[in-house]
């Protein structure tokens, strides 16, 4: 996994990550919301193997994730396992966590 200096760099790179994994992502459509404790809200839409990132709206999502930006970055960088982040309350998930883990595993 590429090292990211900040969450903005990872978010900007997400569509390219999905493009490289497009074959594995086919048939795994979903809508996700990412909310940070610092106030950032994004919608991630996976459709036909492509991932788009946009400012969040109030449309329904399959799964919502809320965490501090530093904790999200630690998960992305592999410094914090998603399971430990959930166990210790650093990451909160609402909706279908199976859909979220599917996306993480495929990327």
Domains annotated for the chain, with CATH where assigned, are 7-106 (3.30.1050.10)
- Write out pLDDT tens, residues 81-90: 988 999 999 9
- What's the pLDDT band for 107 if we cut at 50, 70, 90? low
Enumerate long-range contacts of 68-77, CB under 8 Å, 24 or more apart. Answer: 68/36, 68/37, 68/38, 69/6, 69/7, 69/36, 69/37, 69/38, 69/40, 72/7, 72/34, 72/36, 73/4, 73/6, 73/7, 73/10, 76/1, 76/4, 76/7, 76/10, 77/1, 77/3, 77/4
pLDDT value of residue 18: 87
- What's the pLDDT band for 25 if we cut at 50, 70, 90? confident
- Write out pLDDT tens, residues 38-65: 999 999 999 988 889 999 999 999 999 9
């Amino acid at each position: 996994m590429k090292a990211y200096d900040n969450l903005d760099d990872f978010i900007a790179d997400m569509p390219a990550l999905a493009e490289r994994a497009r074959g594995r992502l086919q048939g795994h459509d979903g809508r996700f919301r990412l909310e940070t404790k610092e106030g950032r809200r994004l919608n991630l839409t996976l459709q036909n193997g492509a991932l788009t990132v946009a400012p969040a709206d109030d449309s329904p999502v399959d799964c919502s994730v809320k965490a501090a930006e530093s904790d999200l970055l630690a998960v992305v960088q592999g410094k914090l396992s998603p399971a430990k982040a959930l166990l210790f309350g650093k990451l909160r998930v609402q909706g279908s966590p199976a859909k979220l883990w599917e996306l993480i595993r495929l990327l």
